[in-house]
């Protein structure tokens, strides 16, 4: 089971939208590196939902209910999608500033590659994010 970070612009599709809908097809990924990552996603994986834009923070957790498949809405085999279901909000958002300030997380692809919308998360990174999300 792998862990992934999925970025979304909250004014386009937010974690609150996912909570309201329950489950959705995660689409809109077009950047090649992000598509390569998305093709590795499998059912049972965990996804951290990250709001871009003014928020720039990890805000919630989702379960991958269907791994990578080709987007059925377009006639383009390279457009990968997966399905996710909302599971829980983080106790408090973890901001990009907090991530960049952490000695272990500052070299993570999330901090280094700003345009990458699907990011691998190691077990160590996941543990640190959970600690940073705890309410003090």
Domain of residue 83: give its range: 3-133
Number of domains in the chain: 1
Quick one: 46 exposed, middle or buried, by C-beta within 10 A (0-12, 13-18, 19+)? middle
Q: CA 108, 109, 111 angle in degrees (round to 5)?
A: 70
What are the backbone angles phi and psi of residue 61, rounded to the nearest 5°? -120, 140
pLDDT digits (tens, 9 = 90+) for 30-86: 999 999 999 999 999 999 999 999 999 999 999 999 999 999 999 898 999 999 999
Alpha-carbon distance 64 to 107, whole Å? Answer: 26
Task: Quote the pLDDT of residue 33.
Answer: 94
Please give the structure tokens belonging to residue 24.
């959705």
Whole-angstrom Cα Rg for the chain: 14
Predicted TM-score (pTM) of the model is 0.95
Which CATH number is 16's domain given? Answer: 3.10.590.10
């Amino acid at each position: 089971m792998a862990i992934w970070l999925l970025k979304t612009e909250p004014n386009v599709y937010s974690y609150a939208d996912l909570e309201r809908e329950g489950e959705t097809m995660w689409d809109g990924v077009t950047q090649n590196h992000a598509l390569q990552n998305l093709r590795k996603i499998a059912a049972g994986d965990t996804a951290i939902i990250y709001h871009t834009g003014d928020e720039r923070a990890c805000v919630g957790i989702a379960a991958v209910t269907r791994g990578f498949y080709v987007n059925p809405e377009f006639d383009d085999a390279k457009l990968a999608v997966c399905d996710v279901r909302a599971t829980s909000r983080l106790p408090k958002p973890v901001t990009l500033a907090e991530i960049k300030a952490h000695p272990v997380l500052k070299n993570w692809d999330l901090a280094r590659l700003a345009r990458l919308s699907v990011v691998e998360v190691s077990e160590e990174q996941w543990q640190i994010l959970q600690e940073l999300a705890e309410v003090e």
